[in-house]
Chain A
Amino acid sequence: MQTLVDVKEVYSTEGLSLWYDKKQALKDVNVSIFEKQVTAIIGPSGCGKSTFLKTLNRMVELEPKITIKGRISYRGNNLYDKHYPVEQLRHRVGMVFQKANPFPKSIYNNIAFGPRLRGIKNKQLLNEIVERSLKQAALWDEVRDKLNQDANRLSGGQQQRLCLARCLAVDPDVILMDEPTSALDPIATAKVEELVHQLKQQYSIIIVTHNMEQAKRVSDQTAFFLNGELIEQRKTSELFAKPFHKETADYISGRFG
């Protein structure tokens, strides 16, 4: 049983439902995300994985005509409280997108962007943050000599690690990753996975993936979604070894999706 170990909940959702206009994308979802663990979100295309992820940092509100019901608490506070400071939330909850999206700026300025916003002007301190973040994202050795180069000239895998470094630079608590390796080759993918493994010492990570093997390799917990519903969420090893539900068994054995 999970509760034997003393793990803290970072997120928990209760009866979370979400509609895009009239189309329901999440149905009564109850999930717990634990501190300093990697939670994998799996499920067939269109089942609401990205939508769920975006509710956690309220990025989903950028879409027009959204209706949300239910409750998400992040560290004990209700996220969808009207007065919840969204911008602070997004500092604490970083996001890495499916397609790397570096700013059309230099590598240095990509990383320094967030810290600068938070008022850090000291050159020395910025340098330290940039170096530390790039090291954490295992990119430092590849770019240390070209920090002033346009970030868009990096390779796809490097760009994705740059985006990770950019989000680490604002010192987050949780990192959300939406299929971060789907556009990468196996070597770059392995690098990112290795990183996820290391980063969970410090951060709680939620990763959406289409790749069962990846979920098995990197995650502690796995949540399986189908048609907007959470079918089951358990320890990864248990879920893959003996799923409770037939749908889960079918999906992980590759019978659909």
Chain B
Amino acid sequence: MKNFLEEVNARIGGVALQNCYHCMKCSSGCPMAEVMEYQSNEIIRMVQLGEREKLLNSSAIWLCVSCETCVTRCPNAVDIPRMIDVLRQMSLEAGIKPAEPEVVAFHRAFLDTVKLGGRVNEPLMMVSYKARTGTWFKDLVMGLKMLLKGKLSLVSPRTRNRTVIHRIFKRTSKL
């Protein structure tokens, strides 16, 4: 059986995490470093040490904004955002309750509307997000303003071939 490091490396399918020499260039430029409980190079070390539970239950994996700054600056081309995506997916597959429930609720709401119409309908997505998180009043005024200005509309054109969209989701997404 593969150990945690081998499993993560295999799913990244690129530069192996062992190439990191902990220069911390990634963590120094990370815009979310101040709120992530583990810094990006620490996460790499933890994967090597087999800290599966800690990582899959962490906030850090959900707080990364996927800005791709770290991988762009890494002297060894270690793909940290891809590693974090892998950890997110492992966490979801293991049925772990995410440490940042709002972030995952947003992804679910977003993908639900895509599954339904092939394209995002923002008002629909916001209603679905709010129902999932119970945050009915946050950003409400902003949303209403946008509706009134005619920026958002309740019905928007959808993709015609929704059969293929459904097939894509069925085969690739377990969310």
Partners in one complex: no
